[in-house]
Chains A and B, each alone.
Chain A
Amino acid sequence: MKKSKVFWIYVAIALVVYAVVQFMISSGNFDMYYSNLFITIAINVILAVSLHLVIGITGQFSIGHAGFLAVGAYVSAIFTTNLGWPFPIALLMGAIAAAIAGLIVGIPTLRLKGDYLAIATLGFAEIIRIIFLNIDYVGGAAGMQVDYLTTWTYAFFVALITVVVISNFTNSRHGRACIAVREDEVAADSMGINTTYYKVLAFAIGSFFAGLAGGLFSHNFFIIQPSQFGFLKSFDILIYVVLGGLGSLSGSIIAAILLTVISLYLQDFPETRMIIYSLVLIIVMLYRPAGLMGTKEVTDLFKFGKKSKGGNVNE
């Protein structure tokens, strides 16, 4: 009873955040620069949370998340630009395509562990990118023109749905099975958990949401190119999860918000940005390998339903 009450309070706070930003945008107080910042934050939150499910909860180290982002981006762009379907359906189609790609990639590779899995996902993401590079229908290396359709409303509600679904999944029976796989795969297996099933499930759900983010991502630019979905994009997503804390949902959201804002200020100095990113990554791993939040959640710090800060988390 109390749990669901707290949940609705968080959703209400998130909606207030939405309303405030939406009011600022529609009243003209936020120009394109700021509305773009908020949309980018929402997209990165979706990406961070979807990768958090794969790495943080299920413990499968995937460094090819940009591949699924690319699938979602291209498929939804094909549906809106080339076929003229409405944007929400195109988003869903992109996400479904990404989930199917996740299944195709996941079923063979998730039998691998640790380093090998990381390299195999990296390889698959590269293959996906090379496939798009070689399809003339989507413009090849020159890229594809896409309509500008992403609004703050779309970005926010997709992010909200993502966070709610993934946090509920984590707290469900299936989520606990995934955590068991993360903690000790052999032990989980001998307790009767179908480890392959849960690994593939988490991977497919993660890919689904990465595909949703891809649809928002492509319609937030006027053009998409395969070079936008290279290894560096995967790394950008990885650093949100690692910095926030492997296994902490709110940690990855906070890291996504923080780093998006920081990288906006550093966008004129891309080298400096990457040097800072990589140094942060090395130092965090050497001195605090669990990440900033560890496996804790922001909500753990505010027991008894105190909620002032938690609202940002559901954003």
Chain B
Amino acid sequence: MEWLQQLINGISLGSIYALIALGYTMVYGIIKLINFAHGDVFMIGAFIGFFAIARWGLGFFPALILAMVVCAILGVLIERIAYKRLRNATRIAALITAIGVSLLIEYTTIFFRGAQPEAYPDVIPNKSFHFLGAQISMQSIMILSVSIVLMIILQFIVHKTKIGKAMRAVSYDEEAARLMGINVDNTISITFAIGSALAGAAGVIFGIYYTKIDPLMGIIPGVKAFVAAVLGGIGIIPGAVAGGMVLGVVETVVSALGFSLWRDAAAFVILILILIFRPSGIFGKNTREKV
């Protein structure tokens, strides 16, 4: 039952990637920008959760919600200050700005608290269950259930509410949505808020699962979550979840086979293969290039 164990570990890891990838994919879907700072919003979420639990003595759920709220505000600030002016700029300018914002968040955090890592406190009781010979920890169940609940809420917001409808309209055709009386700026800000809140939740979950956080922790999960978003088809919400899960399982399998040093390379190999052979992703449709 070794394989079942690895599969469960992979899905736990994959659900963290999926939560981050959702933010990437939503932002890309609406303004066609790779938000490089997204991985750092994730890092800030992890630190907020850490302070809430370790310093202010909050429980798991209040800490999670606090991290989500702070990250949502941070996401909106980033969008309003940096990205809003660049809506009509070239893609390269927007991408460079996003890289700049990412580094600014990382090094401002290091500037104020130093680069040393922090050990996450235990908030979830360290129990585990036996299921078909595999060991499932309480943490894995918690991670998985929180992720699934958040994804269901997201699905509900996007498909059943008015703001979700506005988001879909703006991503489909921004100009037409504006003419229909949709407040495009607010819709984009709300998209950033939701995406960043999900990244914040992922940060807290990551901290609990891996127990070690540091100011540069956002870079690698951020890039991998982007890989997950591309893998599933960027701009497509179920695609991000599927991509995250696939990536998590592949990485766990590569580690389990004894190539743990090559784990990070696996994600990039997947990225390059998918970009070359199926750039629109698993769930994407091919679009023809127009002149």
Contacts and interface: CB of A to CB of B under 8 A. Distances in A.
Contact of B276 (A108, A186, A274, A275): A108
A112 interface: yes
B89 A289 contact: yes
A231 B219 contact: yes
21 contacts: A61-B91, A61-B95, A108-B272, A114-B91, A115-B34, A116-B230, A118-B34, A119-B34, A119-B271, A123-B223, A123-B267, A235-B103, A275-B104, A275-B108, A277-B103, A278-B102, A278-B107, A279-B104, A281-B100, A285-B94, A286-B86
Interface stretch (B41-49, B178-186, B257-265): B257-265
Interface residues of B, number: 43
A119 B96 contact: no
B91 A124 contact: no
Interface of A: 55, 61, 63, 108-109, 111-112, 114-116, 118-120, 122-124, 126-127, 130-131, 133-134, 186, 231, 235, 238, 242, 246, 271-272, 274-275, 277-279, 281-282, 285-286, 289
A282 B275 CA distance: 28
Nearest to A105: B272
B103 A278 contact: yes
B164 interface: no
Interface string B82-103: 1001100111111111011111
A126 B268 contact: yes
A235 B95 CA distance: 12
Contacts of A114: 91-92, 95
A308 to B, nearest CB: 33
A130 B265 contact: yes
Contacts of B271: 119-120, 123
Interface string B103-115: 1101110110000
A271 B223 contact: no
Contacts of A116: 230, 275, 279
Given A109-B275, A275-B107, A275-B111, A235 B99 contact: yes
List the 4 closest pairs (A to B, CB-CB), nearest first: A123-B268, A281-B100, A278-B103, A274-B107
Nearest to B112: A271
B291 interface: yes
A285 B100 contact: yes
Contacts of B102: 278
A258 to B, nearest CB: 18
B268 A127 contact: yes
B144 to A, nearest CB: 28
B123 interface: no
Interface in B226-266: 226-227, 230, 261-262, 264-265
Nearest to A114: B91
B142 interface: no
A173 B99 CA distance: 34
A116 B32 CA distance: 11
A61 B98 CA distance: 14
B95 A118 contact: yes
Interface centre among B34, B90, B94, B96 (most CB of A within 10 A): B96
Contacts of B82: 282, 286
Nearest to A140: B261
Contacts of A281: 96-97, 99-100, 103
B241 to A, nearest CB: 20
A289 B90 contact: yes
B269 interface: yes
Nearest to A275: B107
Given A275-B104, A278-B103, 17 more contacts: A61-B92, A109-B275, A114-B92, A119-B223, A119-B226, A123-B271, A124-B272, A126-B264, A134-B261, A242-B96, A274-B107, A277-B103, A281-B97, A281-B100, A281-B103, A282-B100, A285-B94
A123 B272 CA distance: 8
A148 B82 CA distance: 44
Contacts of A133: 261
Nearest to A281: B100
Contact of A282 (B104, B226, B227): B104
B229 to A, nearest CB: 10
Contacts of B226: 119
Contacts of A63: 99
A278 B104 contact: yes
A281 B107 CA distance: 14
A126 B265 contact: yes
Nearest to B290: A186
Contacts of B89: 285, 289
Nearest to A184: B291
B275 A134 contact: no
Contacts of B34: 115, 118-119
A111 B276 contact: yes
